């Protein structure tokens, strides 16, 4: 009873932040929504489906690099490391890495979804019962969640940021984020980070317009979420999923295109949509190896080495603070 009561203000607080971000994003001339809101419980499940969709090569390719280079990666990290994973999700990727590390100090997953994190922690503890796990619920772009981790003593910290999540950030924001990672590390600590590489636009566009239409469902789910959580009345049939590669900006952009002029009410505020107008919901930046090394250097990291898949579509970088 007590827990239920005390959870109310927390939810209201989260909702008001969500509402503020949504109204701000949809209030401008170019409509946008922060991509972090794609990942509610259903969105996170749909994303897991994307990861196994045959046209979405990123997850599979990263796993291939992992399985073929795992012992080399573990050797590079060295013994006694505390692994910190911002945006850990289901923690699926980290398990083989943790298992390969020499006497790891522990594992700290950070995620905004408490449900996902809870399940992940249980799984990790089952697979690696001797490993110490400190889970943190929160937004990894906020320093608050990192502050709690500074109290865990360790000889070396390594931030693990796989999945090409860094691609979601505009280059300047990515630099700020990597700088903030560096600010939570000491000299000699590490960053193990996955990035999708620049490649043929046909391959890229197929990955974000998969033939099973999971990406379409994932994209549209953000409107469904706004309807459920913010008392809005989006008609999902009036929006279509659209993803394309913007070659000058080296990124795949994901949008929701309005099919017919109409207005929507969001928590009492009216928002007008014109036919053909889009809501920009996500960017996925693609990097060359050199381009990403430059980004690392600008952010306070020294590139140490990297591993690519055999077809050179994806890279796993190791850098030092």
| Residue ranges binding ligand AVJ (CB under 6 A) | 50, 58, 163-165, 167-168, 208, 215, 254, 282, 284
- Supply the minimum distance, in Å, between the C-beta of residue 177 and ligand AVJ: 13
Residues 18, 191: Cα–Cα separation, whole Å: 30
- What's the min distance (Å) between Cβ of 265 and ligand AVJ? 28
User: Given the complex with ligand AVJ, which of 52 and 311 has the nearer CB atom?
Assistant: 52
**Between 287 and 321, CB nearer to ligand AVJ:** 287
Q: Which is nearer to ligand AVJ, 278 or 320 (CB)?
A: 278
DSSP string, 198-265: P--HHHHHHHTS-TT-HHHHHHHHHHHHHHHHHTB---GGGEEEEEEEETTTTEEEEEEEESS-EEEE
* Residue nearest to ligand AVJ according to CB distances in the complex: 284
CB of 166 to ligand AVJ, least distance (A): 8
Nearest to 288 by CA among 197, 224, 209, 187: 197
Q: How far is the CB of 4 from ligand AVJ (least distance, A)?
A: 33
Burial level of 49, CB count in 10 A (0-12/13-18/19+)? Answer: middle
- For residue 231, the minimal CB distance to ligand AVJ (Å) is 27
Residue 192, strand partner residues: 160, 318
Q: Could you tell me how many helices (H) and strands (E) the chain has, helices first?
A: 10, 13
Q: Give the residue with the Cβ less far from ligand AVJ, 223 or 254.
A: 254
Establish how many alpha carbons lie within 13 A of residue 146's alpha carbon, considering only the half-sphere containing its beta carbon.
17
* Smaller CB separation from ligand AVJ, 51 or 296: 51
């Amino acid at each position: 009873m007590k827990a239920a009561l005390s959870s109310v203000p927390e939810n209201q607080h989260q909702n008001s932040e969500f509402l503020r971000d949504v109204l701000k994003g949809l209030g401008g001339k170019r409509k946008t929504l922060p991509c972090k809101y794609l990942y509610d419980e259903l969105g996170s499940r749909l994303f897991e489906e994307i990861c196994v969709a045959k046209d979405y090569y990123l997850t599979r390719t990263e796993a291939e690099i992992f399985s073929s280079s795992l012992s080399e990666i573990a050797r590079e990290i060295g013994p006694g490391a505390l692994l910190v994973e911002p945006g850990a999700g289901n923690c699926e990727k980290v398990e083989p890495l943790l298992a390969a590390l020499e006497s790891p100090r522990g594992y700290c997953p950070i995620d905004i979804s408490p449900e996902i994190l809870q399940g992940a922690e249980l799984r990790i503890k089952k697979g690696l019962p001797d490993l110490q796990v400190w889970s943190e619920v929160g937004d990894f772009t906020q320093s608050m969640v990192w502050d709690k981790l500074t109290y865990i003593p360790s000889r070396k910290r390594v931030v693990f940021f796989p999945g090409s999540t860094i691609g979601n950030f505009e280059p300047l924001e990515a630099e700020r984020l990597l700088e903030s990672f560096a600010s939570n590390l000491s000299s000699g600590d590490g960053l193990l980070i996955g990035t999708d590489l620049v490649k043929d636009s046909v391959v890229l566009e197929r990955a974000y317009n998969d033939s099973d239409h999971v990406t379409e469902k994932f994209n549209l789910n953000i409107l469904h979420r706004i309807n459920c959580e913010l008392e809005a009345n989006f008609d999902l049939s009036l929006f279509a999923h659209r993803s394309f590669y913007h070659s000058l900006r080296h990124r795949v952009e994901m949008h929701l295109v309005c099919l017919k002029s109409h207005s929507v009410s969001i928590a009492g505020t009216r928002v007008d949509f014109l036919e053909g107008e889009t809501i920009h919901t996500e960017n996925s930046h693609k990097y060359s190896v050199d381009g990403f090394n430059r980004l690392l250097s600008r952010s306070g990291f020294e590139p140490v080495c990297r591993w690519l898949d055999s077809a050179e579509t994806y890279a796993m970088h190791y850098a030092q603070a």
